[in-house]
Structure 1
Amino acid sequence: GVGLLLFPTATKNLRRMWSFTSVLLLSIVMSFSVNLAVHQINSGSIYQYVWSWTINNDFSLEVGYLIDPLTSIMSILITTVGILVLIYSDNYMSHDQGYLRFFAYMSFFNTSMLGLVTSSNLIQIYIFWELVGMCSYLLIGFWFTRPSAANACQKAFVTNRVGDFGLLLGILGLYWITGSFEFRDLFEICNNLIYNNNNGTNFLFVSLCALFLFAGAVAKSAQFPLHVWL
């Protein structure tokens, strides 16, 4: 009998351990980001590391991270907002049966956002971009038994496909003209192509690719005319 009385309390405490762990991990990342941002402001240093896996002479897979001052600022923003959302949600979702599922989605969302801003190439950007979109889909349709939530997440999924297709076209276009997905290579090659091209063809093509990339951001941030999903 005593066990039956204590079981709900013990279960609730175990559930809330997940939120505590999520907030703790984000706090550690935020502290690291703040320390890194201060160091970069003082020294102007940029950190990049790339793991390269050569499959054959014509193709190699590269994965890495690029941390510059903008990355540090975005990491601080992501972790700060994420911590505040998790703290608020701990009480707001405390009586919901999907408590653990919600915190799993939020943790995955924060991780995907951090992966997005620390990516060193466009392939990683696209992968984490799609993961962020998947998390948005899951969170929007969290109460999927409600018709309004189910319809909203489907609308978000379809609308974001338009922006994601534009993002993919921009990435492929930049690779076609530069032959690289790495940001540092892209910046250098694009600048050379623009300044060394007299007829302006390269400038127009790079501008078109930039517009395709911008279309992805427009859809993800629910800006006009792709604002209908929010």
Structure 2
Amino acid sequence: IFSMNLSIQQINSSSVYQYVWSWIINNDFYLEFGYLIDPLTSIMSILITTVGILVLIYSDNYMSHDHGYLRFFAYMSFFSTSMLGLVTSSNLIQIYIFWEFVGMCSYLLIGFWFTRPVAAKACQKAFVTNRVGDFGLLLGILGFYCITGSFDFRDLFQILNNLISNNEVNFVFVTLCAFLLFAGAIAKSAQFPLHVWLPDAMEGPTPISALIHAATMVAAGIFLVARLMPLFIVIPHIMNLISLIGIITVFFGATLALAQKDIKRGLAYSTMSQLGYMMLALGMGSYRSALFHLITHAYSKALLFLGSGSVIHSMETLVGYCPKKSQNMVLMGGLTKHVPITKNSFFFGTLSLCGIPPLACFWSKDEILNDSW
């Protein structure tokens, strides 16, 4: 309700609100904590809360027979809270703190069934891969603090623009720091070459896959690039790199998705490909179309993941509890007559993701293609 009210206010006024509390450590160094409310924050907050509440409602029945029912909801709530803290952050230090919380929650959720060796390895793989990007993000934050002396977004952008326009800064060092910031987004949004954790993240319960792939973890990388767009846009080499990584990821993810038999892994590689579209749009400076596609993809992909959970449960009544069989699309022929509602919702979600008019993803993909010319 709060996020919807926030979005309505932003639509009506488009004003920016920032509240900051200073924590003075000594005369030369202080930290600021607060929140920043702007159009980007309102878009992300309504996305996280709406997808999050739908996933939680779905999870109530899905996880009702699991011994870790209460633990599951504790992790999910902390995950959503961390993501909301990330999108409302007013400076880079605050973003980094919540960025780590999101990574920690993903580790706990992917390894939710930690007694299964495959799930234990998958959560470790996600954790280690994301630490590579997180280390780059931390170095980039410290590098820009050395250049500008500020963690606050508005001060950082203004000081950096002045330094670059007056040629008072080492441009190679600025480019390196910007690349390190982008490395954090590459890992979190599963872009090539740090995409390897994403398919294995499917070892967690299906509602977790829906939340990670639609509104929280992978969206964090897109949000970071969007938030730092005024910084990246003055460094042409980084913008070109963002576009290049996006293009490679689009084709790489789509090709791998075609070769999958596991329904959840196929959707995971599809997510990777769609995130490549968003990175491509951001690299071209097409900020609005990237966020538009983030929204349309989030709802379509959440629908598909929740639908896949229903399909997997239906398969388990036929083949028993065996992920290799219950998630194998080759064995799912003739299932539609048993799950007609799931069939229809899955069908429309697939059409949307394919960009078939007049469904949502058609308009966002069309906008990205239009801006690319």
Q: TM-score range by the shorter chain?
A: 0.7 to 0.9
Structure-2 residue corresponding to 1:27:
none
Structure-1 residue corresponding to 2:108:
138
Structure-2 residue corresponding to 1:60:
30
Structure-1 residue corresponding to 2:262:
none
Does residue 209 of structure 1 match 2:173? no
Corresponding residue SS for 2:140: helix
Structure-2 residue corresponding to 1:188:
158
Alpha-carbon distance between aligned partners in 2 of 1:71 and 1:205, rounded to the nearest angstrom:
30
Shift of 1:202: 4.0
Structure-2 residue corresponding to 1:38:
8
Does residue 111 of structure 1 match 2:81? yes
Corresponding residue SS for 1:56: coil
Alpha-carbon distance between aligned partners in 1 of 2:162 and 2:171, rounded to the nearest angstrom:
10
Aligned sequence identity (%): 86
TM-score (normalizing by structure 1): 0.83
Corresponding residue SS for 2:194: coil
Q: Which of these residues, 181, 189, 193, is aligned with residue 221 of structure 1?
A: 189
More displaced 10-residue stretch of structure 1: 106-115 or 211-220: 211-220
The answer (yes or no) to whether the contact 1:193–1:202 under 8 Å persists in 2 is no
Structure-1 residue corresponding to 2:124:
154
Alpha-carbon distance between aligned partners in 2 of 1:184 and 1:52, rounded to the nearest angstrom:
16
1:140-194, Cα deviation, whole Å (9 max, x unpaired): 0000000000000111111111100110111011101000001111111111112
Alpha-carbon distance between aligned partners in 2 of 1:44 and 1:142, rounded to the nearest angstrom:
40
Report the AA paired with residue 103 of structure 2.
G
* Alignment size in residue pairs: 198
Report the AA paired with residue 76 of structure 1.
I
Shift of 1:208: 2.3
Report the AA paired with residue 211 of structure 1.
F
The answer (yes or no) to whether the contact 1:190–1:206 under 8 Å persists in 2 is no
Structure 1: give runs of 5+ residues left out of the alignment. 1-30
Shift of 1:53: 2.2
Structure-1 residue corresponding to 2:69:
99
Structure-1 residue corresponding to 2:138:
168
Structure-2 residue corresponding to 1:70:
40
Structure of higher RCO (CA pairs closer than 8 Å, 6+ residues apart): 1
Structure-2 residue corresponding to 1:84:
54
TM-score (normalizing by structure 2): 0.52
Alpha-carbon distance between aligned partners in 2 of 1:80 and 1:202, rounded to the nearest angstrom:
44
Corresponding residue SS for 1:96: coil
Alpha-carbon distance between aligned partners in 2 of 1:202 and 1:192, rounded to the nearest angstrom:
13
Alpha-carbon distance between aligned partners in 2 of 1:204 and 1:72, rounded to the nearest angstrom:
35
Task: Supply the RMSD in Å over aligned alpha carbons.
Answer: 1.3
Corresponding residue SS for 2:18: strand
Shift of 1:228: 0.9
Structure-2 residue corresponding to 1:19:
none
Structure-2 residue corresponding to 1:24:
none
Alpha-carbon distance between aligned partners in 2 of 1:96 and 1:63, rounded to the nearest angstrom:
39
Corresponding residue SS for 2:197: coil
Alpha-carbon distance between aligned partners in 2 of 1:222 and 1:46, rounded to the nearest angstrom:
30
Corresponding residue SS for 1:53: strand
Q: Which of these residues, 67, 78, 94, is aligned with residue 124 of structure 1?
A: 94
Report the AA paired with residue 176 of structure 2.
L
1:9-40, Cα deviation, whole Å (9 max, x unpaired): xxxxxxxxxxxxxxxxxxxxxx2222222222
Report the AA paired with residue 56 of structure 2.
L
1:52-103, Cα deviation, whole Å (9 max, x unpaired): 1223212223211111110000001111111111111111100000000000
Alpha-carbon distance between aligned partners in 2 of 1:59 and 1:177, rounded to the nearest angstrom:
15
